[in-house]
Structures are given as structure tokens and as C-alpha cells.
């Protein structure tokens, strides 16, 4: 039993240290969500036009992830990388409008299929907005194309790991607390206070 306690204690410590930067990222970004204020966002947009773009035939007829995959080579040829948020087709003008994001930068590619040209608009949003972006991504929206950029896909696994390790730390923390007899009374009081506060807030918000 003592051996099990020591193993849990060490895992609790080391996993807690590992995920602490991720927990801090989520905590700080929630502050910006709540107050709708993100410092450092630039309103300056840089626009450039690229001609002679090699566009695969029939790409406008595709949809979802196959269309995103088909556009990857096009985007690479005009030096644009990042997570494709969605693809808007403007059929009458033979255009595809593609918003693309990386943490701290937003890019919009307006692809003219007939002229084989692309207008690229880019805006830097800063480090604080990057935290908010990572908090939201990959997210539940537009799941047909979500996670199409390698780094966002990797971030998804890190976000999942943060959740699972936080659950482990919470459960192991309760276990470690129960093993310390001297701390049981104050621990029960704080646990009860936290539970009352949580369910009280839920009750108020739902009525």
C-alpha cells in the first residue's frame, strides 16, 4: 500500500509540473474570453497578389476535407500555411475565399479560378490572441475540415492530454489527501465549500 501511495504521489507531482504551462494557457485565455479584450491586435492588413497560380481542375466541385487537401499544394505555392477554417465558394465569380489561421496571424486567400490568381490578405493578431486561438482550437465547429493543419492536429492531442492528466491529478489529489489524517478535517471543509459554491452557481444560472 505504501508503494502504491509513493507511485501516485510522484505521478501527481510530475504530471502536474508537465501540464502546468497548458493549464496556465487555458486560464489566461479565459480571462480574455470573459472580458472580450485582447491587447496587441493590429488593424494593419498587408495585401499581395499572386498570378499564374497552379490550380487543380475541378477543385471547386469538391467539398469538406478532400477540398482542403486538394488546396494544400495551392496554398504552399503562394507561401501560405495554417489551419483552413472553412472554404466559401462564390460560383458566379469562379472564386474560392479561404480564411486561414495560425496562432497570432490571420490570412485570407481569395482564389480566382478563371484568372489563376490569388489575393492574399494577412493580419498579425499578436501573442495574446494566439492564446485565445489555441484555447478554441480545434473545437467542435466545422468538424468536416477541422484539424487539417499538422500543428493544430498535434495541439489537439496535447489538449486532450491536458484534460486527462487534470482528471488524474484531481483524483490522485483526493486520494493523497485522504492518506493524510491530520488534513482530513480542513480538507472536508474546503471540499464541501467548493461543492456548495459550484452547485449554487449552477442553480442560480439555470433558474
With beta carbons less than 8 A apart as the criterion, state whether 60 and 89 touch.
Answer: yes
Q: What is the reported pLDDT for 167? A: 94
> Residue 142's closest CA among 67, 42, 92?
67
Cell of 63: 467539398
Which residues of the chain are modeled with pLDDT < 50?
none
Rounded CA-CA distance 43/1 in Å is 60
How many whole angstroms from its chain centre is CA 186?
Answer: 37
In this structure, what are the phi and psi dihedrals at residue 119, rounded to the nearest 5 degrees?
-105, 120
With beta carbons less than 8 A apart as the criterion, state whether 160 and 128 touch.
Answer: no
Contacts of 200 (CB under 8 A, 6+ apart): none
Q: What is the reported pLDDT for 207? A: 66
With beta carbons less than 8 A apart as the criterion, state whether 65 and 56 touch.
Answer: no
Q: What is the reported pLDDT for 127? A: 85
> Residue 13's closest CA among 143, 137, 169, 171?
169
Query: Which residues partner with 99 through β-bridges?
Result: 108
> Residue 79's closest CA among 107, 45, 116, 44?
107
pTM tops 0.85, yes or no: no
Q: What is the reported pLDDT for 169? A: 93
Amino acid at each position: 500500500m505504501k508503494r502504491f501511495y509513493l507511485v501516485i504521489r510522484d505521478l501527481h507531482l510530475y504530471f502536474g509540473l508537465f501540464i502546468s504551462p497548458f493549464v496556465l494557457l487555458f486560464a489566461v485565455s479565459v480571462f480574455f474570453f470573459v472580458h472580450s479584450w485582447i491587447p496587441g491586435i493590429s488593424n494593419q492588413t498587408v495585401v499581395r497578389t499572386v498570378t499564374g497560380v497552379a490550380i487543380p481542375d475541378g477543385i471547386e466541385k469538391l467539398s469538406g476535407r478532400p477540398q482542403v487537401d486538394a488546396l494544400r499544394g495551392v496554398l504552399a505555392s503562394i507561401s501560405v500555411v495554417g489551419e483552413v477554417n472553412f472554404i466559401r465558394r462564390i460560383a458566379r465569380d469562379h472564386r474560392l475565399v479561404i480564411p486561414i489561421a495560425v496562432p497570432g496571424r490571420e490570412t485570407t486567400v481569395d482564389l480566382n479560378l478563371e484568372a489563376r490568381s490569388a489575393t492574399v490578405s494577412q493580419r498579425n493578431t499578436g501573442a495574446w490572441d494566439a492564446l485565445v486561438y489555441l484555447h478554441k482550437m480545434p473545437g467542435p465547429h466545422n468538424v468536416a475540415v477541422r484539424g487539417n493543419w499538422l500543428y493544430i492536429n498535434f495541439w489537439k492531442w496535447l489538449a486532450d492530454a491536458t484534460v486527462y492528466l487534470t482528471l488524474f491529478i484531481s483524483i490522485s489529489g483526493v486520494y493523497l489527501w485522504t492518506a493524510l489524517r491530520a488534513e482530513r478535517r480542513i480538507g472536508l471543509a474546503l471540499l464541501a465549500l467548493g461543492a456548495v459554491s459550484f452547485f449554487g452557481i449552477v442553480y442560480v444560472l439555470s433558474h
